[in-house]
A and B are shown apart, each in its own frame.
Chain A
Amino acid sequence: MKKRLGLLGFVLALVAIVAITVQAQKTENRLASNAAEQVYVAPGEYDKFYGFFSGGFNGQISVVGLPSGRTLRTIPVFSQWAENGYGYSEETKPMLMTSQGFVPWDDSHHPELSQTDGALDGRWLFINGNNTPRIARIDLKTFETHDIIEIPNAGGNHSSPFTTMNSEYVVAGTRFSVPIPQKDMSIADYKSNFKGTLSFIKVNPDDGDLSIAFQILMPGFDYDLAHCGKGPSHGWCFFTAYNTEEAHSLLEVNASQNDKDFVAAINWKIAEQCVTDGKAETVAANYADNHMDDATGIAVSEMRDSVTLLDPANCEGLAYFLPTPKSPHGVDVDPTGEYIVPGGKLSATLAIHSFSKMLKAIEAKDFTGDSYGIPILNFDNILAGQVEKACLGPLHNEFDTKGFVYTSCFLSSEIIKWNLKNFEVVDRVPTFYSIGHLMIPGGDTMKPYDTFVVALNKITKDRYLPTGPELVQSAQLYDISGDKMQMLSDFPTMGEPHYAQAIPAELVTENQLRIYPLESNQHPYATKKEADVKVEREGSDVHVYMTAIRSHFAPDNIEGVKLGDTVYFHVTNLEQDWDIPHGFATYGMNEANLLIMPGQTLTVKWTPKEVGVFPFYCTDFCSALHQEMQGYIRVSPADSDIALSWNLGQ
């Protein structure tokens, strides 16, 4: 009897275990299907957000729909882009001009959307080029790079291009200090001879044109990241400064000596006043200022020869140092504008500065000393609070509307969520792997959208099918609408996305340009109707005024070109309908193909190397007769006397 009971008990227990397991599996599946629903965008439907992800070492920006994680487009910015001829066409080459000549690559780090009243406005997107210091502005009507301005007196434009509340300025702080002005000197003399600059780039409120308003000359530290104040702290910008040791070699050891480094607080309204009062110097500088001329569609590169340089020694109240534990990376200002939150990457404790306490301390001259004449505030007296044992390697913070901060922790590979009320961690989730920045839509503005947070990870390892030694970068999406963060999906990102920003789709879609109206095309080589096509010779330059429409080029037979000539194909797309681009390429072209949008004129240069008859064709499938969209150009010997001629359909 006992035995039987025992057996029964055993069977019952087994049943219970099975039942529990099944139940648990069901819950898990339900969670998974719930997560899948949240990132699922049905066929024909749109994502709710545009995400803009920096391409890092590819120099571009990826446009990613969120929450689906689908890549929608690459916007070429600092690197040539063979896909559409950016940086290859005559119209776009000037965009990549610098004081160092044509620089067809850069390292793009931080996309930053323009703001009005501290909220995203959907007008423009800015991004920094780190290697040859530059800032670009992308127009969100066309998703095209419209301006690139070079930053002189800088090395490694990293703390950039963070915006003020109304995009009055975007800032550019140098990560690598350098001799200013540049000169031949011993590297061993770095200390106190190398300098950093913090540049304020004026954004023209009407057309977004960029110009350098002034640069602030700072001690030779590494200025890593920045954010500007908002609300009560509007008028200030904050820059993290590591390597306050001023090491110039083996920085991983030598720049990690000081227990605290700094956040530099800059009062840009006072800077403006000092400039107006003549306290700044105009110094020689050599830098490129490039912008797209809307009427012609041709980029113009102009070299500038001076810049306004402001020394804090000559401008009282301009700059202060806030002591900050240890080698801080990010510095982020919460939506109320009161809390300045650095990510002290080598400290496990987060120390948060209070803006109002900072103002009081400045007023009371509560300084513990100075660094190269810049007052250092008393750490304890500006402290808002500390998050003890937060995580390992805190790098960067974004915010929601409920007073929570989300911090990325590189070393412990996690996101922590904590509150600004009692500085306590309320949730943590793992990331895969080694998260750098993180991103909440509007998460660095006064108006965040409490939807999701994206982890931008540095290491991918096993997250996707292996593709040889090199792997795509990995991102994770987490729901933040509830109390607990919940992982929803993994999605791959291109290059190394250091940072990303996202914006509700409707703020961008309503302004979209679909075509370039032919009647406003003022390109000097535009051909606006087929009757006007022609081929002209100017010495050894041959200009082909060509049109493209479904599905032929006019002209499509060209003769009279000679060896030694340089041929310019100026191709105008006569279509006036959305999504009907035509492509153009010809045999042996040393540039890339052109992708010409409706109503646009683009030019590619071709230098034939041999005598012969060479085909050209449309590279973008445009209609059922796309394969018929082709032509020939004849190249004769240099001494031939064949006259230029062209035709179509004869």
Chain B
Amino acid sequence: MKKIVIGLSFLVTLVIIGIWGFAQDNADLPKGVGPIETLELTELDPALAETGKVTFEQFCSACHKIEERYIGPALLGVTERRAPEWIMNMILNPDVMIQEDDTAYELFAEYLTPMANQHVSEEQARSILEYFRSNDAQ
């Protein structure tokens, strides 16, 4: 009986550690500072990604290329290295991000030009995120 209890509590502890560890894994990718606190991603929406591409070309392409560094970082793989919330906040709230978010601050220190606030809407930012996801899925 004692053994079972010990065994069970060991198992429970493991599960707790596991859950905690999983949560920790998500928390490793910070969400940044800004209007987007949580974002549920769904299956890739190609039409939305296409809209995002057009918006990106208009508002962002003067500083960003997908595959190579330009005025700002190359954006290929950005959805793997950053949380979706972080990307949205970087687009919607860059002035605060480069002051308060450590990663954004480090990027700014490297690139020296501040990431521009192009005042795109939340919807437009979401479509750009979809465009980034579609690039990274390929």
Q: Given the complex of chains A and B, what is the CA–CA distance between A552 and B61 in angstroms?
A: 13
Nearest-neighbor residue (CB-CB) of B108 within chain A:
A624
Nearest-neighbor residue (CB-CB) of A623 within chain B:
B113
- The answer to whether A575 has its CB under 8 Å from any CB of chain B is yes
Tell me whether B117 and A549 are in contact (CB under 8 A): no
Tell me whether B57 and A550 are in contact (CB under 8 A): no
Chain B contacts of A547 at CB under 8 A?
Answer: 62
Tell me whether B57 and A549 are in contact (CB under 8 A): no
Residues of chain B in range 45-75 having any CB-CB distance to chain A below 8 Å:
57-59, 61-63, 70-71
Give the dominant DSSP class at B's interface.
Answer: loop
Nearest CB on B from A388, distance (A): 63
Nearest CB on A from B69, distance (A): 11
Tell me whether B62 and A576 are in contact (CB under 8 A): no
Nearest CB on B from A574, distance (A): 5
Tell me whether A518 and B58 are in contact (CB under 8 A): yes
- The answer to whether A201 has its CB under 8 Å from any CB of chain B is no
Q: Given the complex of chains A and B, what is the CA–CA distance between A649 and B61 in angstroms?
A: 14
Given A529-B58, A529-B61, A625-B112, are A552 and B118 also a contact pair (CB < 8 Å)? no
Q: Given the complex of chains A and B, what is the CA–CA distance between A531 and B119 in angstroms?
A: 20
- The answer to whether A256 has its CB under 8 Å from any CB of chain B is no
Q: Given the complex of chains A and B, what is the CA–CA distance between A554 and B71 in angstroms?
A: 13
Q: Given the complex of chains A and B, what is the CA–CA distance between A625 and B110 in angstroms?
A: 13
Tell me whether B113 and A529 are in contact (CB under 8 A): no
Residues of chain A in range 546-579 having any CB-CB distance to chain B below 8 Å:
547, 549-552, 554, 574-577
Option from B58, B71, B113, B119 in Cβ contact (under 8 Å) with A515? B119
Give the dominant DSSP class at A's interface.
Answer: loop
Tell me whether A577 and B119 are in contact (CB under 8 A): yes
Nearest CB on B from A554, distance (A): 7
Nearest CB on A from B72, distance (A): 10
Chain B contacts of A577 at CB under 8 A?
Answer: 116-119
Nearest-neighbor residue (CB-CB) of A599 within chain B:
B119
Q: Given the complex of chains A and B, what is the CA–CA distance between A268 and B114 in angstroms?
A: 57
Residues of chain A in range 508-559 having any CB-CB distance to chain B below 8 Å:
515, 518-519, 528-531, 547, 549-552, 554
Tell me whether A574 and B113 are in contact (CB under 8 A): no
Chain A contacts of B112 at CB under 8 A?
Answer: 623-625
Q: Given the complex of chains A and B, what is the CA–CA distance between A623 and B71 in angstroms?
A: 12
Tell me whether A529 and B62 are in contact (CB under 8 A): yes
Range for the number of chain B residues in contact with chain A: 10 to 19
Residues of chain A in range 620-650 having any CB-CB distance to chain B below 8 Å:
623-625, 649
Tell me whether B59 and A576 are in contact (CB under 8 A): yes
- The answer to whether A307 has its CB under 8 Å from any CB of chain B is no
Tell me whether B116 and A580 are in contact (CB under 8 A): yes
Tell me whether A550 and B113 are in contact (CB under 8 A): yes
Residues of chain A in range 429-459 having any CB-CB distance to chain B below 8 Å:
none
Chain B contacts of A519 at CB under 8 A?
Answer: 58
Q: Given the complex of chains A and B, what is the CA–CA distance between A515 and B59 in angstroms?
A: 14
Nearest CB on A from B110, distance (A): 12
Nearest CB on B from A390, distance (A): 56
Chain B contacts of A518 at CB under 8 A?
Answer: 58-59
| Number of cross-chain contacts by CB at 8 Å | 50
Q: How many A residues face the partner with a CB closer than 8 A?
A: 22
A-contact 0/1 string along B62-95, CB 8 Å cutoff: 1100000011000000000000000000000000
Nearest-neighbor residue (CB-CB) of B57 within chain A:
A529
- Identify the interface centre among A550, A580, A623, A625: most chain B CB within 10 Å of its CB: A550
Chain A contacts of B61 at CB under 8 A?
Answer: 529-531
Nearest CB on B from A627, distance (A): 12
Tell me whether A550 and B58 are in contact (CB under 8 A): no
Option from B57, B70, B114, B119 in Cβ contact (under 8 Å) with A576? B119
Tell me whether B113 and A551 are in contact (CB under 8 A): yes
Nearest CB on B from A601, distance (A): 15
Tell me whether A624 and B113 are in contact (CB under 8 A): yes
- Identify the interface centre among B61, B62, B116, B117: most chain A CB within 10 Å of its CB: B62
Q: Given the complex of chains A and B, what is the CA–CA distance between A587 and B42 in angstroms?
A: 54
Nearest-neighbor residue (CB-CB) of B120 within chain A:
A576
Option from A528, A530, A625, A649 in Cβ contact (under 8 Å) with B113? A625
B-contact 0/1 string along A4-15, CB 8 Å cutoff: 000000000000
Residues of chain A in range 468-515 having any CB-CB distance to chain B below 8 Å:
515
Chain A contacts of B119 at CB under 8 A?
Answer: 515, 576-577
Nearest CB on B from A195, distance (A): 55
Tell me whether A552 and B58 are in contact (CB under 8 A): no
Tell me whether B118 and A576 are in contact (CB under 8 A): yes
Option from A528, A530, A550 in Cβ contact (under 8 Å) with B114? A550
Chain A contacts of B58 at CB under 8 A?
Answer: 518-519, 528-529
Nearest CB on A from B70, distance (A): 8
Chain B contacts of A574 at CB under 8 A?
Answer: 59, 62
Tell me whether A575 and B118 are in contact (CB under 8 A): yes
Nearest-neighbor residue (CB-CB) of B56 within chain A:
A529
Chain A contacts of B117 at CB under 8 A?
Answer: 576-577
Chain B contacts of A552 at CB under 8 A?
Answer: 71
Q: Given the complex of chains A and B, what is the CA–CA distance between A528 and B58 in angstroms?
A: 6
Chain B contacts of A529 at CB under 8 A?
Answer: 57-58, 61-62
Tell me whether B71 and A576 are in contact (CB under 8 A): no
Nearest CB on B from A517, distance (A): 8
Nearest CB on A from B76, distance (A): 18
Q: Given the complex of chains A and B, what is the CA–CA distance between A9 and B71 in angstroms?
A: 85
Nearest-neighbor residue (CB-CB) of A515 within chain B:
B119
Chain A contacts of B59 at CB under 8 A?
Answer: 518, 574, 576
Chain A contacts of B116 at CB under 8 A?
Answer: 549-550, 575-577, 580
Tell me whether A549 and B114 are in contact (CB under 8 A): no
Q: Given the complex of chains A and B, what is the CA–CA distance between A241 and B62 in angstroms?
A: 61
Nearest CB on A from B59, distance (A): 7
Nearest CB on A from B1, distance (A): 69
- Identify the interface centre among B61, B117, B118: most chain A CB within 10 Å of its CB: B118
Question: Other CB < 8 Å A-B pairs besides A549-B63, A576-B116, A625-B112, 11 of them?
Answer: A529-B57, A529-B58, A529-B62, A549-B62, A574-B59, A575-B118, A576-B117, A576-B119, A577-B116, A577-B118, A623-B114
Chain A residues with CB under 8 Å of chain B are 515, 518-519, 528-531, 547, 549-552, 554, 574-577, 580, 623-625, 649
Q: List 24 A-B contacts (CB under 8 A).
A: A515-B119, A518-B59, A519-B58, A529-B58, A530-B61, A530-B62, A531-B61, A549-B62, A549-B63, A550-B113, A550-B116, A551-B113, A574-B59, A574-B62, A575-B116, A576-B59, A576-B117, A576-B118, A576-B120, A577-B116, A577-B119, A623-B112, A625-B113, A649-B70
Chain B residues with CB under 8 Å of chain A are 57-59, 61-63, 70-71, 112-114, 116-120
Which 7 pairs between the two chains have the least Cβ-Cβ distance? A549-B62, A576-B118, A577-B117, A530-B62, A576-B119, A624-B112, A550-B113
